[in-house]
């Protein structure tokens, strides 16, 4: 999986690189951005998963994360949200297809050949980071926003051996019980809703999946988020944490919406949260 560096910029004494490589999981070229803090490393790694319609660039240019990442000596990686290309299936709507991989391995046509973001994030991307970059060996941190918050929670709960810390901004906490999730999971995984449950963070947490591995899970949710009541439903995650014995810090941030203005307001606290646990 040879990595090609497409562009580089100096940033707070470190470097931002835009990279691509052929991914075995998706069978396509996948793109990611990576921030390398000052120094020689090896560095602890935080992977950021973005939301619907995003690419590897949204977090990189809008989150304002790299001053704090440089201070903490934290490598930050932001992969694209789906496979892309002329031969990759797509849909007319923003919430399905390219830009909307939902961090699952699709089993249904026409998505199954390439839409394997679960395997990409848990297998191909870590392998590239640890072979081609000064990444510290061992578990990483995982965070994300909206669809990416869903991905961060579910992938971390399934793979505590890969991820030592997890946080999220405005995550889709129960995709089996919201329109975004019902649409994506039925398309990618089929009509049998039982197969969706392993991709539902609230159901996983309530069952005790990975309970005891994470000393805390940090979630920030804006109270002025237009998707709050129908799509995000953070109260389901709170109840699941109580049932499953998982410590959860869910902060309702008054007046904040779903945008990157919300993310940039609290990203430094999330970076510090991960850095402390990745020491």
Active site residues: 146, 225, 258
First-residue to last-residue Cα distance in the chain: 28
Dist. CA 55–CA 162, nearest whole Å: 23
Dist. CA 163–CA 155, nearest whole Å: 9
Close Cβ partners of 12 (under 8 Å, ≥ 6 residues apart): 37, 38, 66, 67, 69, 70
Q: With 0-12 CB in 10 A as exposed, 13-18 as middle and 19+ as buried, what is 246?
A: buried
How many CB atoms within 10 Å of residue 21? 18
Question: Of all helices (H) and strands (E), which one includes residue 196?
Answer: none
Token pair 């848990």 in the structure block, residue = 122
Q: Helix (H) and strand (E) counts for the chain?
A: 9, 9
Q: How far is CA 265 from the centre of its chain?
A: 18
Residue pair 103/148 in contact by the 8 Å Cβ criterion: yes
Phi first, then psi, for residue 269 (nearest 5°) are -70, -35
- Residue 110, preceding peptide bond in cis (omega within 30° of 0): yes
Q: What is the DSSP letter of 249?
A: E
Read off the tokens for 70: 């440089």
């Amino acid at each position: 999986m040879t990595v090609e560096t497409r562009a580089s910029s100096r940033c707070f004494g470190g470097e931002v690189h835009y990279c691509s490589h052929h991914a075995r999981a998706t069978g396509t070229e996948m793109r990611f951005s990576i921030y390398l803090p000052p120094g020689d490393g090896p560095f602890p790694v935080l992977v950021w998963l973005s939301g619907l319609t995003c690419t590897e660039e949204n977090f990189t240019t809008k989150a304002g994360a790299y001053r704090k990442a440089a201070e903490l000596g934290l490598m930050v990686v932001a992969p694209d949200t789906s496979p892309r290309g002329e031969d990759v299936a797509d849909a007319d709507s923003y919430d399905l297809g390219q830009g909307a991989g939902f961090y699952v391995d699709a089993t249904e046509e026409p998505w199954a050949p390439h839409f394997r973001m679960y395997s990409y994030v848990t297998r191909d991307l870590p392998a590239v980071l640890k072979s081609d970059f000064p990444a510290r060996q061992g578990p990483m941190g995982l965070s994300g926003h909206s669809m990416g918050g869903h991905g961060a929670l579910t992938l971390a709960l399934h793979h505590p051996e890969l991820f030592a810390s997890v946080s999220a901004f405005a995550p889709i906490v129960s995709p089996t019980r919201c329109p975004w999730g019902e649409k994506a999971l039925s398309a990618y995984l089929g009509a049998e809703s039982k197969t969706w449950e392993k991709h539902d963070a609230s159901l996983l947490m309530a069952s005790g999946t990975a309970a005891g591995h994470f000393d805390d899970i940090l979630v920030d949710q804006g109270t002025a988020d237009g998707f709050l009541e129908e799509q995000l439903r953070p109260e389901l995650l709170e109840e699941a944490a109580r049932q499953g014995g998982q410590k959860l810090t869910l902060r309702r941030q008054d007046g904040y919406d779903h945008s990157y203005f919300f993310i940039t307001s609290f990203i430094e606290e999330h970076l510090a949260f991960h850095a402390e646990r990745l020491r």
